[in-house]
Amino acid sequence: MGPTIRALLKSKTGAILIILEVAITLAIVSNALSMISTRSAAMARPSGVEEERLFTFRSSPIDRNTYPAEAAFAADRARLLALPGVENAYATDQLPLSGSGSSTSVKLGPDDPRESQTATYYADENTLATLGVKLLSGRNFDAREIRTLKPRADETPSVVLISKALSDSLFPDGAAVGKRLAGRDDSAGTGPEIVGVYGKLQSPWNGDEYIENTLLMPFRPGGRVAWVVRAQPEAVLGLQISARDMLANADRSRMVSPTAQSMLEIRAESYRDDRAMIVLMSILSSLLIVITAFGIVGMASFWVTQRTKQIGMRRALGATRSAIVREFQLENALLTTAGAALGIALAYGANYWFARQANIPMLPLSYVLIGIVLVFALGQLAVLRPAQRASRVSPAIATRSV
């Protein structure tokens, strides 16, 4: 170790530069890894619906005052179900992951500590079957319970279905079915009755803390509706176009959105920024690693040239080739250790800074550890070639000039 440290002290500038490079690389790579994994985890959450089977498009009455919403709904649904490949369909206000929707807070009575925020969807008796969401307990809506609401009507439903997550937060120790939510005036037992609990159905907002809390109301929009159509996965692409066109042409008293969107497209759009960030962080981290590696190679090669005579001397005095290689490897390990120590501080400093700016979780130690392993491996790999070159320095060099 003695000669290694002495050699480093002789080329302080180069050593400091390598330490700094390693430190910044470690700080960036560990934070990038953490960001990538947080976002991948968010993207991997299922929405609860059978995405590959669903597509949607909107239909808005041209004259809302004269539009026969209920009759038009029934006629349109029959038209959709008549298309080969279509399995089911319903009309709603909003969809999971679509980015736009309604939310409200629900509780069981005044000052309920379990008061929870939840997204609300309009739904009917075909909603669960269309989306492929499982009813866990209680019953589904009955067709007779479904009411068509005027635009901007803010009515309290008599019955609701809630998601498992919402049920767990409102009733941590028991059955939700049969219980009533608080009424408009917060009084207990006067609000809608919970008639069923379903499994998973996410809210429209993927960044929402309460993304798993949803509530279905037995309503159908009387103005603009979003049709949700369920089909065989392989038929979705074709039906997206043909079903939309068919409805648009069947009745000119309403306007159908120019294109239909599959649920997979909605998901991709919803997580677009996260995917972009994953791509960007991966690219920057990879390039950073390559550049740092080449920096180490360059510096080590220079040291080999600079110390040719000393190496020759040591070889002449009996140092083996592997001893020379080890010396360079040890040197690099020392530099990386110093760099990693500084890098840990930088990594947490950067994490603290990012966290203050944005909603970013604390950097888990595991990613710093992965980063440390990475910079060590990188350093050893980068120094290998120059070290081998050093080990081939002939002992005879030592005799040429002093």
Partner 1 sequence: MTRYYLQLAVRGLLQHRALTALMVFAIGLGIAATMTGLTILARYGSDPIPQKSKQLFAVQLDAWKGDSPTNEFDFNAPPDQLTYKDATALMQRAPAKRQTAMYLTGAALQSDNAEIAPFFRPMRATQNVFFELFELQFIYGAAWRDSDDAAKARVTVLTQPLSEMLFGASNPVGKQVQYGAERFTVVGVVKEFAPKPKFYDLNQGTLGDADAAYLPIATAIDLSMNQSGNTSCFESSGNGWSDFIASECIWLQYWVELETAAETSAYLSFLNAYADEQHKLGRFVDTTRNNHVVDVKQWLKQNKVVPQDSKIFVYVSIGFLLVCLINALGLMLAKFLRRANELGVRRALGASKRSVFVQHLFEAGAIGTAGAALGVVLTILGLKGMHLLYAKLENFAVLDLKTLAILVLVSVSATVLAGLLPAWRVSQLPPARALKAN
Residue ranges binding partner 1 (CB under 8 A): 13-14, 17-18, 20-21, 24-25, 27-28, 31-32, 35, 60, 62-66, 105, 150-156, 184, 223, 248, 252, 254-255, 257-258, 272-273, 275-277, 279-281, 284, 287-288, 291-292, 294-295, 298-299, 301-302, 305-306, 350, 353-354, 357-360, 401
Nearer to partner 1, 75 or 297 (CB): 297
3-state secondary structure of 82: coil
Residue 148 CB, nearest approach to partner 1 (Å):
13
Residue 90 CB, nearest approach to partner 1 (Å):
22
Starting at the edge strand found earlier in the chain, the sheet holding 116-122 runs 102-106, 116-122, 214-217, 159-163, 193-198, 135-138
Q: Encoding tokens for residue 146?
A: 């479904």
Nearer to partner 1, 75 or 248 (CB): 248
Q: Provide the strand spans (E) within 224-358.
A: 225-231, 254-256, 261-262
What are the C-alpha distances in Å from 118 to residues 59, 145, 167, 324, 343? 26, 22, 11, 66, 42
Residue 255 CB, nearest approach to partner 1 (Å):
4
Phi, psi (degrees; rounded to nearest 5) at 82: -75, -15
3-state secondary structure of 49: coil
Residue 276 CB, nearest approach to partner 1 (Å):
4
Nearer to partner 1, 34 or 130 (CB): 34
What is the Cα–Cα distance from 265 to 269, expressed in whole angstroms?
Answer: 6
What is the Cα–Cα distance from 195 to 186, expressed in whole angstroms?
Answer: 20
Residue 374 CB, nearest approach to partner 1 (Å):
14
Residue 156 CB, nearest approach to partner 1 (Å):
8
Element (H, E) at 72: helix 69-81
Residue 340 CB, nearest approach to partner 1 (Å):
15
Nearer to partner 1, 65 or 317 (CB): 65
Query: Pairing between strand 54-61 and 135-138?
Result: unpaired
DSSP 366: H
Nearer to partner 1, 49 or 281 (CB): 281
Nearer to partner 1, 65 or 172 (CB): 65
Contacts of 340 (CB under 8 A, 6+ apart): 22, 23, 26, 372, 375, 376
What are the C-alpha distances in Å from 274 to residues 43, 254, 360? 8, 36, 13
Residue 211 CB, nearest approach to partner 1 (Å):
15
Nearer to partner 1, 68 or 151 (CB): 151
Nearer to partner 1, 156 or 320 (CB): 156
- For the chain, the straight-line distance linking the first and the last C-alpha, in angstroms and rounded, comes to 25
Residue 121 CB, nearest approach to partner 1 (Å):
17
* The amino acid at 216: L
Nearer to partner 1, 190 or 306 (CB): 306
Nearer to partner 1, 45 or 275 (CB): 275
What are the C-alpha distances in Å from 345 to residues 21, 30, 242, 252, 392? 14, 12, 59, 66, 39
Residue 354 CB, nearest approach to partner 1 (Å):
6
3-state secondary structure of 209: coil
Q: Encoding tokens for residue 144?
A: 């007779």
Nearer to partner 1, 114 or 150 (CB): 150
What is the Cα–Cα distance from 349 to 353, expressed in whole angstroms?
Answer: 6
Burial label, 252 (beta-carbon count in 10 A; 0-12, 13-18, 19+): exposed
Residue 306 CB, nearest approach to partner 1 (Å):
7
